[in-house]
Structure 1
Amino acid sequence: MRAGADRRRGYPAGEARRERILAVALQEFAENGYRGASLARIAERAELSQAGLLHHFRSKEHLLTAVLDHRDELDLRRYDLGGVRTGADALGVLVDVVEHNSRVPGLVQLFTVITGEAVTADHPGHDWARRRYRRLRGEVTRALGRAVESGEFRAGTDPEAHADRLIAMMDGLQNQWLLDPDRVDMAAVFRGYVDDLVALLRP
């Protein structure tokens, strides 16, 4: 009975330690990329021994996967376009995401660094990046397609082509903003692009 109680008391502490490791690893991967990141440095920053770190995450690749999975969970909630009523609302969700990203530069830097590295097929984040783009492209394409079918956007609109352009705009702005945040207002530029696009696509 006592041992079970101890385990129950220890579980939240273990979860808190795991969350701490993920937060530190996110920062390390964002600053140095996957190949430049160091398990020893992550352990030191998380105030653990390297053996203690490997108790929670058995390898550097496993740790990266856990960090990316955590980001995916956040993205799935933010990029939920299935319940929106109109095409303009769907594009408004993307504007909200960009505005949110402007407040979390560490996450944006992680995404930019990892996806840049992940273009090589042997990178452990390669499959994650490809799945993410396919999912996002599909979500945006379906939302725009529903707007065309309902008559909100004009007939002849190519939903997939506009989805590709929207994603390219988001990622390109993120790169410019990370390099020169004082000059580039990522949220304002993207909001203006979406406003122009909605005006263009109206019948």
Structure 2
Amino acid sequence: MRTRRGPYAKSAERRQQIVEQAYRAFATRGYHGSSLREIAAASGISLSNLQHHFATKEELLVTVLTRRDEQGHGAVSGRQGLPFREHVLAQAAANEGVPGLIALYSILSAEAVTQEHPGHAYFAERYEALREEYEAEFSTLRAQGRLRPGVEPALAATTVIALWEGVQLQWLYAPDRVDAGAALRAYLDLVIVPQADAL
């Protein structure tokens, strides 16, 4: 039994090592600026060995993006069920605590604007899902009397996403001077009525 599990465990460990090195490469040089050969060298293996685990760079990118999502969701595990405002602020703080997560997202989302980029569909679907999720949250707040007059849920959803990504990008340049959580809190406080005031 052990002899059968040994190679599997070693293979899984090798895949994880490759994904970690690809994560670092994509977060610093982007998808187009990174090569499988460089990632293989950083992983301490040959290119053919890497391609045994990931046949193409596109396949490796998808795995890295999946890993990024797992890290992002894992960073706020145990905080499910938080009100929308608090969840956004908790996620923003958690993102800053995961090394490379914001850089990876910022670089790849900018690169993936072109339709031929292998990450294009991932980001297009992600933005659509976020807009729908946040619009639903703002619509719920409006139904509860907690959205300030004149605020449209769809526009507020798009604005939160734009603000969040823009301020995170600035944070990459000046982490000691830019506070993404503070910027998001200020905007949300402009459009959301405190619960006590809505009663």
Do both proteins adopt the same fold according to a TM-score greater than 0.5, normalized to the shorter chain? yes
CA RMSD of aligned residues (A): 2.4
Determine if the alignment matches structure 1 residue 13 to structure 2 residue 7: no
C-alpha contact (below 8 Å) 2:112/2:120 kept by paired residues? yes
C-alpha contact (below 8 Å) 1:79/1:94 kept by paired residues? no
Q: Deviations over 1:9-33 (max 9, x none)?
A: 2222221211111111000001111
Q: Percent identity?
A: 36
Q: Which residue of 1 aligns with 2:47?
A: 50
Following superposition, the deviation at residue 65 of structure 1 comes to 1.1
Structure 2: runs of 5+ lacking an equivalent? none
Which of 125, 145, 151 aligns to 2:139? It is: 145
C-alpha contact (below 8 Å) 2:147/2:191 kept by paired residues? no
The normalised TM-score by structure 2 is: 0.87
Structure 1: runs of 5+ lacking an equivalent? none
Q: Tell me the amino acid that sits aligned with residue 10 of structure 1.
A: P
Relative to structure 1, is the Cα distance of residues 160 and 79 closer, same or farther in structure 2, using a 3 angstrom cutoff? farther
Determine if the alignment matches structure 1 residue 125 to structure 2 residue 122: no
Relative to structure 1, is the Cα distance of residues 191 and 157 closer, same or farther in structure 2, using a 3 angstrom cutoff? closer
Determine if the alignment matches structure 1 residue 61 to structure 2 residue 58: yes
Please give the residue correspondences for 1:54-133 in structure 2 after superposition, counting only pairs within 5 Å.
54-75=51-72, 84=81, 89-133=83-127
**Bigger RCO of structures 1 and 2 (CA < 8 A, at least 6 apart):** 1
Determine if the alignment matches structure 1 residue 161 to structure 2 residue 158: no
Please give the residue correspondences for 1:24-43 in structure 2 after superposition, counting only pairs within 5 Å.
24-43=21-40
Q: Deviations over 1:169-197 (max 9, x none)?
A: 10000111112222212223322332333
The normalised TM-score by structure 1 is: 0.86
